[in-house]
Structure 1
Amino acid sequence: METIGNERGGSAEAPHRATAFGTKAQAYAENRPSYPVEAVRWALDPVTDSGSPDLRGLAVLDLAAGTGKLTEVLVAQGAEVLAVEPDPAMLAELSRRLPRVQTLSGRAERIPVPDQSVDAVVAGQAFHWFDMDQAMAEIARVLKPGGVVGALWNLEDVRVPWVAGLAEVSELPRDLETWQEDQSTLAGHEPFGSVERAEFASPQQLTSEAFVARTATRSSLIVMAEDERAQVLARIRGYLRACPETANGSFVLPTVTGVDRAVRGQGD
């Protein structure tokens, strides 16, 4: 999970953090969670044939695709996917894992594809990095009229007391609360209509070390001084050893996948 709250305003350190992932591309691919099919299908429902069992025939642009976590789900559902990602190390890892997927180097603010060329644009854990005015204008440009944009987030469920305690010990943001309370990043951009929002339970089976490894791929930790990062990860290990729900080293992490979607108007 990546922080969605404190970077939306474009903090001074956000550009540095945004470029940090490439140094951990393989670890990111190995430890970050995937996305539930139900959430992906809901995001694309406005452009999906209601009778279709999959996403065949849909041209989908995965924006800021990273190592291909969301791309992989789309491909498995039959979509024709174009993955766009600015970080060369992340893009190389995506190509290694999904060699048949078409990839392009590019950013949300300047998407390297023709006008009205895709049915849908999606992004997983990424919209908080974008300059939203520029990005939404570009997304509108590349979408066909009636196309859909979807933002997906994997969010630890801090409504569960022991998960809230883990967030407190790690001093990491409570992203589910931020997502639920804040207006969608997709809101207020023409020519898109109103934003729809849905939540999907996506519990994840993890070991303590797998959770620590996942946390270490967060941008805020990647850019930390080594000793500070070690202290944060040590606190997390200590909490997991002491917490009854996680003490045996294997546990189910309550997680919610939040999805926002908006449909592009039919005009030019």
Structure 2
Amino acid sequence: MDQGERLLHASSFGAAAVAYAEHRPDYARAAVGWAFEPAPGPRVLDLGAGTGKLTATLIASGAEVIAVEPDPAMLTELRRSLPAVRALSGSAEAIPLPDASVDAVLAGNAMHWFDMAVAGPEIARVLAPGGTLAGLWNVMDDGTEWVAGLARVGGSAAVGPRDTPAGWRAETAGMHLPNTGGAARFSSPQQAEFPHGQRRTADSLVATLATRAGLLVMPEREQEAALGRIRGYLASRTETVRGEFILPMLTAVLRVQRL
């Protein structure tokens, strides 16, 4: 994906902010705990916070959270659902916080949108020595046969390369902070995956997939056709044809520590 396409996809979520808040999953508690485990204190920045999916899980863990989000519509939803949270307009490339002001920087399904050549030094600036930077991604567990079929039918717009465990491992294997241009250094990346799941119906799973960037940027007719194929597939499977079911997932984490 080139820079222009990346920006188009990254900026697509505001148009679906309400649906995103309603349908996107939260994050496995164990994954969140592991993500900032090495951090020496409780001050956590949720960077690219969206509508607050990760923010809410961080608050439940007892962290003191500041949320930063660039999209006005997403930020509005975050403030509506979590009015007590300090939620600021900003981005990974321009973080509106003082130097060394947080013990951990976490990003939920967002780090792949950052321009790390610019965001790396900014993250290093606000992160206290010994602090942790971690990206978290919810991925579908395609080790389950019907989920693997859904990925094939939905195509890359609905279930992209990083939306399955193998794809996520391949994409993030080389993802790390670039040279910050200063004295800050970071440890080698660590990866971990934690079982998770989301209770869905066929309709709500279609609504969840409809908030994916690849579908949001599609022409309306193509989007409707893709969602129609997914509906047809879910209607053909005994696991998903009626009532609620659990969509098997993993919360995958990539973590580095500021030295």
TM-score by length of 1: 0.89
> Residue 221 of structure 1: CA displacement?
1.1
Listed as ranges, the matches of 1:28-177 within 5 Å are: 28-47=20-39, 58-172=42-156, 173-174=160-161, 175-176=163-164, 177=166
Structure 1 segments unaligned to the other structure (5+ residues)? 1-6, 49-56
SS at match of 2:134: strand
Report which of the two has the higher share of helix: 2
Match of 1:192 in 2: 186
3-state SS of paired residue (1:46) = coil
Worse-matched range after superposition: 128-137 or 205-214: 128-137
Partner of 1:22: 14
Contact kept in structure 2, 1:198 and 1:258, CA below 8 Å: yes
- Pairwise CA distance, 1:181: 2.0
Which structure 2 residue ranges, 5 or more long, are not aligned?
Answer: none
Q: CA deviation at 1:13?
A: 1.7
Distance 1:171 1:29 in 2: 23
Flag the 1:258–1:117 CA change in 2: closer, same or farther, 3 A.
Answer: same
Q: Give the AA of the match of 1:41.
A: G
Supply the AA of the counterpart residue of 1:80: E
Larger mean CA deviation between 73-82 and 89-98 belongs to 73-82
C-alpha displacement at 1:248, in angstroms? 2.1
**Contact 1:156/1:256 (<8 A) preserved:** yes
Q: Which residue of 2 aligns with 1:52?
A: none
1:180 has 2:169 as partner: yes
Distance 1:225 1:38 in 2: 38
Asked whether the equivalents of residues 241 and 249 of structure 1 are also in contact (C-alpha less than 8 Å), the reply is no
Residue 215 (structure 1) aligns with: 209
Name the % identity: 52
Q: 1:162 to 1:85 in 2, by over 3 A?
A: same
Q: Which amino acid aligns with 2:170?
A: E
2:237 aligned with 1:243: yes
One-letter code aligned to 2:167: T
What letter is aligned with 2:175? T
Q: CA RMSD in A?
A: 1.4
Aligned partner letter, 1:123:
A
Q: Could you say what secondary structure the match of 1:180 adopts? A: helix
Q: Which residue of 1 aligns with 2:221?
A: 227
Q: Which of 233, 239, 247 is matched with 1:253 structurally?
A: 247
Amino acid in structure 1 at the alignment position of 2:198: Q
- Give a deviation string over 1:91-115, Cα, whole Å, max 9, x none: 0110000001001111101111111
TM-aligned CA deviation for residue 11 of structure 1: 4.2
Amino acid of the structure 1 residue aligned with 2:155: E
Normalising by structure 2, report the TM-score.
0.92
Please give the alpha-carbon distance, in whole angstroms, between the structure 2 residues aligned to 1:216 and 1:222. 7
Query: What is the distance in 1 between the residues matched to 2:39 and 2:177?
Result: 19
Q: Is the 8 A contact 1:119 1:143 kept in 2?
A: yes
In the alignment, the residues of structure 2 paired with residue 102 and residue 187 of structure 1 have an alpha-carbon distance, to the nearest angstrom, of: 26
Deviations for 1:96-155, whole angstroms, at most 9, x for unmatched residues? Answer: 000010011111011111111100000000011111121121111110000000100000
